[in-house]
Amino acid sequence: MQKIYMDHGATTPLDGEVLAAMLPYLQGKYGNPSSLHFHGREARAGLETAREKTARALGAYPEEIIFTSGGTEANNMVIQGVARYFSAGERRHIITSAIEHHAVLDTVAYLGRTGFDVTFLPVDRYGLVDPEELAAKITAKTILVTVMTANNEIGTIQPIDEIGRICRQKGVYFHTDAVQAVGNIPFNLKEQPIDMLSLSAHKFYGPKGVGALYIRQKTGIKQLIFGGAQENKLRPGTENLPGIVGLGRAIEMATTGMEAKTGALRELRDRLIAGLLQIEDVRLNGHPQKRLPGNVNVSVLYVEGESLLLHLDLKGIAVSSGSACTAGSLEPSYVLLATGLDRQTAQGSLRLTLGRDNTPAEVDYTLQAVQEIVTKLREMSPLFK
């Protein structure tokens, strides 16, 4: 059976060249970057080269890059770290959007339970935050605005430059979770009004368990973890050197020739969207244009996304659904509910996220499979007329 992977929003396969760059650091180059001898210096060189590559890919300075264990840690580090920096003062208000990844949403909610004021901005039916509404919510007590660059479920791309400009005017820090965006959207942080940015290697063909946080110079942030002096004291502990070297190579590759790669991906995405919308009672979720080049998210009325997913899996097609099975009950996606979908429509949603190795033939095979499965499921559904 042929296997088709259309879940690149969850993770991507490790690139062969990235693996090749990592291997020496898993074998011969085992030194601790903090050691002063030859092995340490060799490891340190690998670490700093990866930092330079990451900085160059983002248009940042190497001193502004802190390596972490991934996107979740980067988001926690920045939100809790800024909160700690301000914790002694009067200012204690944080603004985020209702459709952030749980790593942001739950961290902000936690701060809300421990003495901070928190605002969760609503989004429109495309998943867009309204910058004017955001501006109106900023007060003299606001310390941080955190809004993701692109959403992991529906792919919507936020107007982050506009949001950043508002934050800068008002003297508020702006952080963006760019985990889905890096490799799909260009960044030039020397020009953009972004103070902090999170990324994760496994979303752009790098290894799992390694990410980075960009922190603009002179930004007020306090450490969460105590120990050594690694990573500017913000992230003590011996560095995951093979992972970091892999991240450096992966981000370099992901941001080279990006326009051509995302152009091809967009074409494939639009072919998939057009085909899915041919099926009766299928709706596109997210924004028709302002969306990630590989993201497709649809609601298929009168079927459950989860059963669609499982039937596609039987045919060797890996996708994801817009609902999470918690304790045997299907909870519709909070992202889709925030865009105004009713629970039933949200439960019938499917996310297909394309990557660089997907082909038009795979898209057509998948469309055929979805059509067949939807027809079969609807025949059995009491909801379908």
Using alpha carbons, list the distances in angstroms from residue 73 to 1, 159, 189, 208: 38, 24, 21, 13
SS (H, E, C) 150-202: ECCCCCEECCHHHHHHHHHHCCCEEEEECCCCECCECCCCCCCCCCEEEEEHH
Q: How far is the CB of 213 from ligand PLP (least distance, A)?
A: 11
Q: Does 211 bind ligand PLP (CB under 6 A)?
A: yes
- φ and ψ at 30, to 5 degrees? -95, 5
Check binding of 103 to ligand PLP (CB under 6 A): yes
Nearer to ligand PLP, 292 or 346 (CB): 292
Would you say 92 or 208 has its CB closer to ligand PLP? 208
Among 77, 167, 179, 292, binds ligand PLP (CB under 6 A): 179
Query: How would you classify residue 50: left for phi > 0, otherwise alpha for psi between -120 and 50, otherwise beta?
Result: alpha
For position 180 contacting ligand PLP by CB under 6 A, the verdict is yes
Q: For residues 18 and 377, which CB has a smaller minimum distance to ligand PLP in the complex?
A: 18
| Least gap, CB of 247 to ligand PLP (angstroms) | 11
Q: Which is nearer to ligand PLP, 158 or 180 (CB)?
A: 180
- From candidates 64, 177, 231, 239, binder to ligand PLP by CB under 6 A: 177
Total residues interacting with ligand PLP, rule: CB under 6 A:
13
CA-CA distance, 56 to 75, in Å (whole number)?
21
Contacts of 339 by beta carbon, 8 Å cutoff, 6+ apart: 99, 123, 124, 125, 126, 127, 154, 285, 286
The tokens of 119 are what? 């605002």
Q: Does 155 bind ligand PLP (CB under 6 A)?
A: no
Q: Which is nearer to ligand PLP, 156 or 345 (CB)?
A: 156
* Of 12, 142, 152, 358, the one binding ligand PLP by CB under 6 A: 152
Site for ligand PLP contains 305 (CB under 6 A): no
Closest CA to 239 of 28, 85, 79, 29: 29
Q: Is 294 in the site for ligand PLP (CB under 6 A)?
A: no
Q: Give me the least distance between CB of 117 and ligand PLP, in Å please.
A: 23
Gap between the Cα atoms of 74 and 214, Å rounded: 9
Question: Applying CB under 6 A, does 54 fall inside the site for ligand PLP?
Answer: no
> Please, are residues 339 and 294 in contact by the beta-carbon 8 Å criterion?
no
167 is catalytic: no
* DSSP conformation class of 35: -
Query: Would you tell me which residues interact with ligand PLP (CB under 6 A)?
Result: 70-72, 101, 103, 148, 152, 177, 179-180, 200, 203, 211
Active site residues: 325
